[in-house]
Amino acid sequence: MLNGHAPQSHADDADAVTLQLAPGRRPTLAYVAPPPMAMPEPPPQLGDYTVLGPLARGGMCGVYLGQHRHTGERVALKLLDPRWLDSPGAVTRLLGEYALRRRIHHDGVVAIRAAHLSPDGQPYLVMELLDGEDLGALLERGRLTIGATAALGAQVADAAAALHAADIIHCDLKPENIMLLYRDGLAGWPEAKLLDLGVARERGVALPEVAGTPAYMAPEQWQGRPSAASDVYALGCTLYELLTGVAPFEGTVLEVRLAHLEAQPAPASHRRALPASLDHLILRSLAKEPRLRPRMSELTSALTDLAFAHPPGARAEGVLAAVA
């Protein structure tokens, strides 16, 4: 929902949804975020950082390139749109990202170094600057190879497991919230970073609303009961899309919601040739019952094996699959 990285690929906030929980915790569709509007000009200076220019734009936040005025270090500055300053939830959510990130001990999650308020009361985060592109942008150029999907997925699963170890559920795992970095990671494939804790929540803490992106929301997340298994489901949806170029379910928000609750997705292997083990792993991740899904640690192990079995350069395999 809220992208804290660059470059921006497209306005995925148009697909983000917030659900209000009525008495009895039965969710009803309450709000679909509009496409991002042009953001007002940021202040030229935020604390010790000079604002150099825009990097990305989300529905409620803008991300800017910043440079420390003393050390010259460059960072990403995530700034709340001033039009949301009257929303206590928006302010709390942004500042809460910093508090959550401090509890996570894993380099595979984007680093948030500080949270501040500008002189006029705008909250902003100081984040590490990443050199790469999100997987949503990459998907616009084509589906990914088996090796790249496995390697990136394994790294994300390992990072998500660190969130779960800290009793944090991401709740918005999707291609746009995964950054492919221009440096080597697992098995010689690019490194991956998990982004955006904007809708993450603590395990077991009841909130009056649930939020996420419809194409990746598990049945229990739609019902207001997200768990660590919901992130497994979202990663399963993401792996499916990286390999096939389409999400398991498509349509209007209400059509997608019903499909997540009741329909069985066509196996990814119906859209392209895949190892049976990978096809089965994705289908298990998309099980309607959370208890039937694998744990993140199992995903990490299985995807790591696949990444090493399909290294870059093998059979001229790169990140993007050849067009059939």
The residues, any chain, with a CB within 8 Å of residue 142's CB and separated by 6 or more, are: 245, 320, 321, 323
Q: How far apart are CA 242 and CA 72, in angstroms?
A: 37
Active site residues: 172
CB-based contacts of 107-113 (< 8 A; 24+ apart in sequence) = 108/155, 108/156, 108/158, 108/159, 108/162, 108/192, 108/193, 108/194, 109/159, 109/162, 109/163, 109/193, 109/194, 109/195, 109/197, 110/4, 110/5, 110/179, 110/193, 110/194, 110/195, 110/196, 112/197, 113/75
d(CA 69, CA 67): 6
Residue 125 and residue 114 in contact, taking contact as beta carbons nearer than 8 Å? yes
> Are the beta carbons of 207 and 235 closer than 8 angstroms?
no
Encoding tokens for residue 129?
């600057």
Distance of CA 74 to the CA centre of its chain: 23
Please state, as a whole number, how many other Cβ atoms lie within 10 Å of the Cβ of residue 180: 25
Give the CA distances from residue 12 to residues 26, 185, 253, 262, 317, in Å, rounded to whole numbers and listed in that order: 26, 26, 13, 25, 29
Which residues fall within 8 angstroms of residue 117, CB to CB, at 6 or more apart? Answer: 123, 124
